Structure 1
Amino acid sequence: MRIVIAGSSGYLGKPLMEALEGLGEGHDLVRLVRHRPDEENEIVWDPYKGPLDPQILDGVDAVVNLCGVNVGGKRWNAAYKKRIETSRVVPTMVLAEAVAAAKVPVMVNASAAGWYGDRADIEVDESTPAAADFLGRLCLKWESATEAAEKSGARVVKLRTGHVLGPASVLLDRFVPAWKCFLGGRFGSGRQYMPWISLRDWVGAAVTAIEDESIRGPVNMVGPTPITNREFTKALGAAVHRPTPWIIPGWAVKIVAGEAAIELLRGAKIKPGVLQANGYEYQDQTLFEALRYALND
């Protein structure tokens, strides 16, 4: 397959590229980049300056879009929330229109578990409507931006990704130092769910989504065993051999993280319905397995 990837330099893009390059199917990979091309397989694009030339996608079998600034990269204010939205919706729309014009048969697009918002103990799957909060509305706009590709008949897959646990993951880079200093503890009540998936399973599931012609629409990129924040706290403590006695109140989390604290204080019990229905075999079935892999233990 000839595959064009946008967002290939990010935390998910790099290992996905490596996995596709390592397969024996002879995938031909092309990277859309914002800088001057350093390699033969790189093509410059700027989604904010106009449409992508459909000729770039001539003969392409699939387009993968992983663009978007880090949701937790800064405290949320009006400007950063707008940047979060624009960095996702605009590249997606530009690529979807180019996919439609070039008649590319497959588009695999990033999305997020934030689609579901706070659902308490109710299990949700890919058929559940988007939440009405900021992240839910964002994900709805993000996924809707693929409309041109869908209308053209392309098989469009939307990867609703939870917290990705792997070496140098953003979440663990923030938490592990505190846990090792005996400052680990649950956030708020600890009853909120934290959708997770190991990095290697995310990559494996993404490759499956690209190659399996039966998969289309939203796909929950989460592990098979849902866990609460309380359970996450204990598992991470066990992984780094530290107790986790503390309770970090919600107001304290909000002081540190601002409105972005919603990612830690709210969550949903998400079922990976599509992956399970298609027989995806997880390498990391439990959170503890994923943490051991992520921490190279």
Structure 2
Amino acid sequence: MKILLTGGTGFIGSRLMSHLRPHHQVSVLSRSPNKVYQRLGHDIDALPSLDDLPDLDQFDAVINLAGEPIADKRWSPSQKTRICHSRWRITEQLVEKIKAGSNPPAVVISGSAVGFYGRQGDTLVDEDTHPHPEFSHEVCSRWEELAQQAETEHTRVCRIRLGVVLGAEGGALVKMLPSYRFGLGGPIGSGKQYMSWIHIEDVVNLILFLLEHEECNGAYNATAPEPVTNAQFSKTLAGNLGKPHFARVPAWTMKLLFGEMADLLLTGQRVMPVRLQQAGFHFRYPTLDKALKETLSAPRL
């Protein structure tokens, strides 16, 4: 299969590439081909832009994972613009090229996030849950709308709403570990907000699953079937590290440091992967304890 991948040098994209390369011919779209070669190897076909391609008929599939990290910086007006445009513009361009062809890719798998739902308290959330309007929903909703425009009788579209991804190569866990290893880890705010998480290997496997199963289309919650509260997550992480668990980060401190972006950490969603499980997907790491044990044993951590 010939696959076009965006976000190939990122946290998820890099791990996905290690599974795709032995079996498929992959082209990675990146404004920095040198970055692609450094991270993925010089045998990779790196495309600096879509401008020279009249269409995407040469590809069997498109996997779209590109986007500015949403929780890395305070949400200034300029950062909000970067977060939106880094997702929306590339998705628009991909759809334009798909529509320009006469033999388009059979499938588009496009990233999104559980932020689509906005804050949901302790309500069990599935793919049909009505979202709470706020910035994270705005970003994801428009992102998904653009991706969905690629769908025709020839092209199916799968939208994956990712939770907090756990892995040794990057993501939220790597940022949390230093304080926990010093015995200073603890819940954020009340700790009652839910965290919907997923092990990175399950992310890769579900992308491969959606790639291969032609009956799959629409939105899929890419989260493990055991969402936990922030306090439960914190306690489990501290326990796996053999560290105490008594520190707590007050909500006001988070808001002072991160402004509006703190809402991502202080509110949450209790998301269930209903459509994935109905489709027959099985999680390798369904429980947080198992996922953390594997991740923390990885060489990079």
Normalising by the residue count of structure 2, what TM-score does the alignment of the two structures yield? 0.91
- 1:107 partner SS: strand
Shift of 1:33: 2.0
Structure 2 residue 9 is matched with structure 1 residue 6? no
Within 1, Cα distance between the matches of 2:2 and 2:217?
19
Structure 2 residue 86 is matched with structure 1 residue 83? no
Within 1, Cα distance between the matches of 2:262 and 2:174?
16
Residues 2 and 58 in structure 2, CA contact (< 8 A), matched pair in contact too: yes
Partner of 2:167: 166
Specify the code of the residue in structure 2 equivalent to 1:44.
L
Partner of 1:129: 130
Within 1, Cα distance between the matches of 2:33 and 2:162?
30
Shift of 1:281: 1.5
Partner of 1:201: 202
61-70 or 121-130, which deviates more = 121-130
Deviations 1:273-297 (A, max 9, x none): 1111122121111111111111117
Note the 1:61-210 alignment, pairs <5 A: 61-102=60-101, 103-151=104-152, 153-210=154-211
Normalising by the residue count of structure 1, what TM-score does the alignment of the two structures yield? 0.92
Identity of aligned pairs, percent?
35
Residues 225 and 286 in structure 1, CA contact (< 8 A), matched pair in contact too: yes
Residues 109 and 160 in structure 2, CA contact (< 8 A), matched pair in contact too: yes
Structure 2 residue 27 is matched with structure 1 residue 30? yes
Specify the code of the residue in structure 2 equivalent to 1:10.
G
Count of residue pairs brought into register by the alignment: 290
Specify the code of the residue in structure 1 equivalent to 2:81.
K
Within 2, Cα distance between the matches of 1:131 and 1:208?
29
Within 2, Cα distance between the matches of 1:206 and 1:241?
34
Specify the code of the residue in structure 2 equivalent to 1:87.
S
Partner of 2:233: 232
Within 1, Cα distance between the matches of 2:8 and 2:15?
9
- 1:247 partner SS: coil
Residues 130 and 139 in structure 1, CA contact (< 8 A), matched pair in contact too: no
151-160 or 35-44, which deviates more = 35-44
Specify the code of the residue in structure 2 equivalent to 1:280.
F
Cα RMSD (Å) of the superposition? Answer: 1.7
Note the 1:234-273 alignment, pairs <5 A: 234-273=235-274
Shift of 1:52: 6.4
Partner of 1:217: 218
- 1:231 partner SS: helix
Structure 2 residue 45 is matched with structure 1 residue 42? yes
- 1:244 partner SS: coil
Specify the code of the residue in structure 1 equivalent to 2:199.
S
Residues 52 and 94 in structure 1, CA contact (< 8 A), matched pair in contact too: no
